[in-house]
Amino acid sequence: MDLFNLTGRTALVTGSSMGIGFALARGLAQAGARVVLNARNADRLAEAAKTLRDEGAQVDTLVFDVTDAESVRKAVDDYDAQHPIDILVNNAGMQHRGPLEDFEVEAFDRLMRTNVNSAFYVSQAAGRHMIERGQGRIINIASVQTALARPGIAPYTASKGAIANLTKGMATDWAKHGLNCNAIAPGYFDTPLNAALVADPDFSAWLEKRTPAGRWGRVEELVGACIFLSSPASSFVNGQTIFVDGGITASL
């Protein structure tokens, strides 16, 4: 369907050498987009790119640290001059668990830089070019913790709440320039970031009871929402956070 066709579009996905970012990049490529993988680890990035190229995807790579504003600006500016970036997925993120009363200040600052500052840096760098062209899609990866909290991850919860409101702010400022800025909030997915929880049988049992769908999510189940928000099908959707969570935020 043409509504979901991304042929001729270029999509930059941050933090895309593995996990959710890699799955989203693969899905965007399958919908026809040229994908630009980003990470700090060049070797891991090259391996991810080779996997997608072997599947027939058009793939480029950009090695830069999303928490370094100057590196972000230079990388995005240089690449956009060759291949205009139509779609940006801000996926890079981290988790750090610990009791709030003992949470280290350095860990808090690092988490906020990685989860919030990076989305601002990359969106601003790419957004300036999108504004010049009068169109663009920005998709921020939020979390079920955008709406809910659990013990031991208060700073992470704060960062993902910030992502939802940053998304609203982006839409409010940039919709008039032809940009669509939205967020996807995954529930509990089996990813490297959640490896400790997946390996905990007690937590998995609790999650299966707590989630109406009765299971962990699979990263491939996020692809449809990403393609929708990247495509003409969502032309009048702006400032929204779409929860893909098996129903966990819908039930007590």
With 0-12 / 13-18 / 19 or more C-beta atoms within 10 angstroms meaning exposed / middle / buried, residue 81 is: exposed
Evaluate whether residue 251 is within a structural domain: no
* Residue-level pLDDT at 195: 87
26: pLDDT strictly greater than 90: yes
Domain that holds residue 232: 2-245
pLDDT tens for each residue of 116-165: 999 999 999 999 999 999 999 999 999 999 999 999 999 999 999 999 99
Interval 221-242: pLDDT, tens: 999 999 999 999 999 999 999 9
User: Which residues are within 8 A (CB) of 90 and not within 5 positions of it... i.e. 6 or more apart?
Assistant: 14, 118, 119, 122, 123, 138, 139, 140, 141, 163
Read off the pLDDT of residues 87-125 as tens digits, 9 standing for 90 and up. 999 999 999 999 999 999 999 999 999 999 999 999 999
The CATH number covering residue 19 comes to 3.40.50.720
178: CB partners within 8 A, 6+ apart:
130, 131, 133, 134, 135, 136
Which residue out of 79, 121, 156, 188 is catalytically annotated? 156
Please report the pLDDT score of residue 94 as a whole number: 94
Spatial distance between the Cα atoms of 185 and 146, rounded to a whole number of angstroms: 7
pLDDT of residue 196: 87
243 pairs with which residues across the strands? 185
Domain tally for the chain? Answer: 1
In a domain, residue 235? The reply is yes
| Residue 208, in any domain of the structure | yes
Q: d(Cα 141, Cα 163) in Å, to the nearest integer?
A: 8
Residue 211 lies in a domain: yes
Alpha-carbon distance 197 to 190, whole Å?
A: 9
Cα separation of 19 and 222, whole Å? Answer: 11
Residue 1 in this model has a pLDDT that exceeds 80: no
Classify residue 3 by its DSSP letter. G
Per-residue pLDDT, 18: 95
Judge whether 252 lies within some domain: no
pLDDT tens column, 180-213:
999 999 999 998 878 888 999 999 999 999 999 9
Is 156 known to be catalytic? yes
Instruction: Tell me the pTM.
Output: 0.97
